[in-house]
Amino acid sequence: MFKEFRQYFSEISLKGNIYLLLIWRFALLMLIYTASRVLFYLFNSDFFTNISFDGFIRILAGGLWFDTSALLYTNVLYITLYLLPFTFRYNKWYQLALKYLFVITNSIAIAANCIDFIYFRFTLRRTTATVFDEFKHETNFGSLIPKFIADYWYVVLIWIALTALVVLLYGKARGLPKRKGFRYHLVYGINGFVLMIALATLMVGGMRGGFRHSTRPITLSNAGQFVSEPLEAAIVLNTPFAIYRTLGKKALVKVDYFKSPEELEAIYSSLHRPSASDSLKQMNVVIFIIESFGREYIGAYNEHLREKYGYKGFTPFIDSLIGNSLWYRYSYANGRKSIDAMPSVLASIPMFVEPYFLTSYSGNRINSIASVLRAEGYHTAFFHGAPNGSMGFQAFANVAGFEEYYGMSEYPNPDHFDGMWGVWDEEFFQFFAQKLNQFQQPFCTAIFSVSSHHPFKIPERYEGKFPKGTLPIHQCIAYTDYSLKRFFETASKMDWYPNTLFVITADHCNQTYFPEYQTSVGAFSVPIIFYRPDNSLAGCKKELAQQIDIMPSILGYLNHNKPFIAFGRNLFNSKEEKPFAVNYSNGCYQLLMDDYVMIFDGSKVLAMYNFKEDSLLTRNLQGKSLDRQMEMERLLKAIIQQYNARMIDDNLVVK
């Protein structure tokens, strides 16, 4: 009977159509990966006790997205050779070689999935490319592998069974009809070439996870949009995908600049223990993360440029709002990309080495402004006018604890799509205001804008209305500023408005005109503004502030009194916490403290500048103020040590 079964499936030909046969083989692998996902869950079900049936179905469906990408990467050589538009691809020996390639490469990928049935229990995450660094110095693999096989023989049997299915169900391509002649081969080759190009285009989309230009290639963090708890992302993912997506990524390593935990904590601690004795303020929180809204574009931040060049900026509304707000003259981003901003602003996680979204630690449990306030009874929601899933924001919002997500799928009018990134800011900000008016108070919401972005377009009806300035982005900044004005005009008439804390910042900087914004310090210059409609927060602070300060500052302002993890500080408690700002660029850490910036490569100080007196960073002061340099170096080392340890140990929440 087994012989008949094997003979039947070995003769699968789908009428000689090699393209349908390729689809069959790909579908077979998708089924095997789904089966592996179910087995992964069954082997580790004690870690996933809160998954409902509906939740598991959502996980299985989401997993197909990652399986498609992984299988295309695994089989890119096979598919290329298989699709070569020449008749020799029907040659018996060529087909046999392709079969061996297919079986060997996919059996290795299946083995990686099977290994994580067990290895996950030790790491609580899918195996990534860091495993090659972790074990590259091991010399006893020869003795360990037989031991592992003996201990986990049942996993080996599962792998053999799944690989056997690949072999048995591979199918056979029948030869072409006996046609000869140059003309036939030419026509066959042209048709095959066109089909190869078409399939190659589909492959690129499958590898990236979609064709939209607003969609970055999917990575580990995108699994977060299909889960209820961060740990469940491991079920959504598959191990080959986790390895491919982390190849070449710099892995964090634990450092021991300070041997004593007490010494480390005395210099810097990311564990916040608020001592507020008053009850939590039942105040709404609205956070604006404005695309590319660097400080250079804001007139109020550049009075020195007005005096020198007559520069007014492009944000008349923000300038007027700042007059009644608390704002920080020296405020900075913790990253240079949009994907760096959400972790920094909402969860107080800076970008070190690699964007948090793209690291293997993106599945860690985290606390955020949403998760902390949600536990206090707040309604939480995140808004982004781009297609749902764009940039991985929906996934992060889910992991961060936002109850609801509003993107283009929830926006009622597709005619307001800008044709590139999402809904125009003016319309989406109005949608945002109306939704807030429907929420039960208190609520905590955040919105990420889209319009001030390349290709720097504004709605046609506003052509000529806003100043074009000297850079393409300038009229877009003016348009988004106008959109903010319209939002506040609408919101100010709503009942919830007086009882709301507004926070306005940018994700990162963009095009720059003035040299001081083109330095390693100026390149991170973004606004940080706190506004209360009753004008109870007002004035310009000339101390340092950064995106990762926003979460602990909001919690401090609301009198939140429970411990939490944040790498920033409470700006409203500056007497007890030393102001600083930190970021990472070009392989080096950068720390700002007082009037100085220090560049550190992880082992030694490379440079120091007085960034206030020397805005173009032309005079290196390294070694000229050793006491200050040592103080800054100690603080930066403590931050790095805390960050790396908490990331690696999945220790980003208070347990």
Count other Cβ atoms within 10 Å, centred on residue 473: 25
Q: Please tell me whether residues 274 and 241 are part of one structural domain.
A: no
Query: Comparing C-alpha atoms, which of 43, 30, 71 is closest to residue 165?
Result: 30
Give the domain extent around 22.
Answer: 2-132+141-246
Q: Which of 126-140, 191-205, 301-315 has the highest mean pLDDT?
A: 301-315
Q: How far apart are CA 555 and CA 564, in angstroms?
A: 10
**Neighbouring residues of 393: CB distance < 8 A, sequence distance ≥ 6:** 342, 382, 384, 386, 448
Query: Comparing C-alpha atoms, which of 581, 586, 585, 584 is closest to residue 597?
Result: 581
pLDDT tens-digit readout, 605-631: 988 999 999 999 999 999 888 899 999
Task: Determine, yes or no, domain membership for 628.
Answer: yes
Residue with tokens 């963009």: 510
Structure token digits, residue 571: 């700006």
Cα–Cα distance list, 627 to 146, 471, 631 (Å): 56, 42, 6
Task: Determine, yes or no, domain membership for 644.
Answer: yes
The whole-number average pLDDT for the span 294-321 is 96
Task: Determine, yes or no, domain membership for 653.
Answer: no
Q: Please tell me whether residues 301 and 359 are part of one structural domain.
A: yes
Residue with tokens 């699994």: 223
Point out the domain boundary residue: 214, 246, 278. Answer: 246
Structure token digits, residue 369: 């402004």
Q: How far apart are CA 652 and CA 449, in angstroms?
A: 28
Q: How far apart are CA 25 and CA 171, in angstroms?
A: 8
Q: Please tell me whether residues 219 and 269 are part of one structural domain.
A: no
Question: What's the distance, CA 338 to chain centroid?
Answer: 8
Q: Please tell me whether residues 270 and 239 are part of one structural domain.
A: no
Q: How far apart are CA 544 and CA 574, in angstroms?
A: 10
Q: What's the domain count of the chain? A: 2
Q: Please tell me whether residues 223 and 311 are part of one structural domain.
A: no
Q: How far apart are CA 573 and CA 220, in angstroms?
A: 36
Q: Please tell me whether residues 608 and 558 are part of one structural domain.
A: yes
68 vs 146 pLDDT, higher one: 68
Q: How far apart are CA 500 and CA 146, in angstroms?
A: 63
Q: Please tell me whether residues 230 and 355 are part of one structural domain.
A: no
Bond from prior residue into 442 cis (ω within 30 degrees of 0): yes
Residue with tokens 């929180």: 285
Q: Please tell me whether residues 195 and 285 are part of one structural domain.
A: no
Task: Determine, yes or no, domain membership for 251.
Answer: no
Point out the domain boundary residue: 246, 273, 290. Answer: 246
Asked if pLDDT for residue 269 goes beyond 70, the answer is: yes
Q: How far apart are CA 424 and CA 416, in angstroms?
A: 6
Please state the pTM of the whole predicted model: 0.79
Q: Please tell me whether residues 228 and 327 are part of one structural domain.
A: no
Q: How far apart are CA 6 and CA 165, in angstroms?
A: 10
The whole-number average pLDDT for the span 441-461 is 94
The whole-number average pLDDT for the span 198-216 is 69
As beta bridge partners, residue 589 has 584, 600
Cα–Cα distance list, 99 to 5, 123, 144, 567, 643 (Å): 19, 35, 31, 52, 47
Q: Judge contact between 274 and 556, C-beta under 8 A.
A: yes
Residue 513 is part of a domain; what is its CATH number? 3.40.720.10
- For residue 379, what is the enclosing H or E element? strand 379-384
pLDDT tens-digit readout, 58-92: 999 999 999 999 999 999 999 888 888 776 777 88
pLDDT tens-digit readout, 548-585: 999 999 999 999 999 999 999 999 987 778 899 999 88
Alpha helices for 176-236 (secondary structure H): 182-208, 233-236
Task: Determine, yes or no, domain membership for 504.
Answer: yes
Q: How far apart are CA 317 and CA 448, in angstroms?
A: 18
Least confident segment among 193-207, 261-275, 316-330: 193-207
Residue with tokens 């931050």: 639
Task: Determine, yes or no, domain membership for 374.
Answer: yes
Radius of gyration in angstroms for the set of CA atoms belonging to the chain, rounded to a whole number: 28
Task: Determine, yes or no, domain membership for 254.
Answer: no
Q: Judge contact between 73 and 207, C-beta under 8 A.
A: yes
Q: Please tell me whether residues 151 and 265 are part of one structural domain.
A: no
Q: How far apart are CA 248 and CA 313, in angstroms?
A: 41
Q: Please tell me whether residues 379 and 477 are part of one structural domain.
A: yes
Task: Determine, yes or no, domain membership for 655.
Answer: no
Point out the domain boundary residue: 246, 274, 302. Answer: 246
* C-alpha count within 13 angstroms, C-beta hemisphere, residue 544: 25
Q: What is the pLDDT of residue 337?
A: 85
Cα first-last separation, the chain: 57
Q: Please tell me whether residues 239 and 267 are part of one structural domain.
A: no
